[in-house]
Amino acid sequence: MIGGAIIEVLRKFVPQENIHLQEPMAGHTTFRIGGPADCFLELENEEQLKKVRRYLEMTGVSFFVVGNGSNLLVNDSGYRGIILQLGPKMNTISVAGNHIIAQAGATLVQAARTAMEHGLTGLEFASGIPGTVGGGVVMNAGAYGGEMSSVVTQVNVVSQEGEVLELDNETMEFGYRNSVIRQRPFIVTEVTFCLEYDDVSVIKSRMEELASRRREKQPLEYPSAGSTFKRPEGNFAGKLIMEAGLKGFRVGGAQVSEKHCGFVVNMGNATAQDVRNVIREIQSRVRACFGVELEPEIVFLGW
């Protein structure tokens, strides 16, 4: 539990209405699963983040940063610490020539749509990814042949000491579903994309085509965290899971999607433990059948 003295200090940095105690995380993840966090802070700007981070680092209180919760499975018992949300209150997007500057809490869908409206191409691949710009940069999100590394030119972060740093594309050390931020204690606050000019109608058509492909192939009708596993080298997770006979495999309310085996979905009443058990069974069966170790894309919080 977070002590009252800590909460009192946080009130000096963040408005009272943005501080939530024992906040159910099911309302903050795309899985719609998760127990209560001791304290949930909605941050409004970089200055608040700097002050809060410096204080939490000084006190040693555990904290975790979330955006849209699209890649997150929170334990049914919740999280014993403070959640820092860079979400709807930090989602400003601006346009300067062929550059899109987006705060970390803006969604990738919003960024892609803004680009399209200004005749800028390059973010169409992100138009259906449910995460935020900040989270997308951290994991180098990608789809349909595109990924963040190909369009990001600058990333602003807050360091462990509460200082703002500017990282360029090379410094980000992008890799498959990876970046330097996964190895360093940085928190993304703003991202700059460099795009190309194109006709608005052409960009819109591409986005509509990708949206159609997603609806056709992905189980968008159920809560999930998107692709459950990283793509194993030389293969596809969904293909291996299907060939292992796990299509439709279910534990409680969690199920391997019958539409796309690369997704574990919440059928309506899944617990975090249900999802974890399905993931473990998938890993065990695929390992036994093919000798392949599937690595989750999902972040497990509170376990």
Q: Is 226 exposed, middle or buried (0-12, 13-18, 19+ CB in 10 A)?
A: buried
> One of 124, 227, 257, 285 is an active-site residue; which one?
227
Crossing angle of helices 46-59 and 4-13, rounded to 10°? 150
Decide: helix, strand or coil at residue 148.
helix
Q: Measure the CA–CA gap between 52 and 9, rounded to whole angstroms.
A: 9
> One of 177, 257, 276, 285 is an active-site residue; which one?
177
Q: Measure the CA–CA gap between 176 and 160, rounded to whole angstroms.
A: 25
Query: 40 CB contacts (<8 Å, ≥6 apart)?
Result: 19, 20, 21, 23, 25, 28, 82, 83, 85
Cα-flanking dihedrals φ and ψ of residue 131, to 5°? -85, 180
227 is catalytic: yes
- Helix H or strand E segment including 156: strand 152-158
Look at residues 89, 85, 52, 56 and name the one whose alpha carbon lies nearest to residue 70.
Answer: 85
Q: Is 270 exposed, middle or buried (0-12, 13-18, 19+ CB in 10 A)?
A: buried
263 CB neighbour count, 10 Å cutoff? 24
Q: Measure the CA–CA gap between 265 and 288, rounded to whole angstroms.
A: 23
> One of 23, 124, 190, 297 is an active-site residue; which one?
297
Decide: helix, strand or coil at residue 21.
strand
- In whole angstroms, how far apart are CA 194 and each of 99, 169, 205? 5, 11, 21
177 is catalytic: yes
The residues assigned a catalytic role are 177, 227, 297
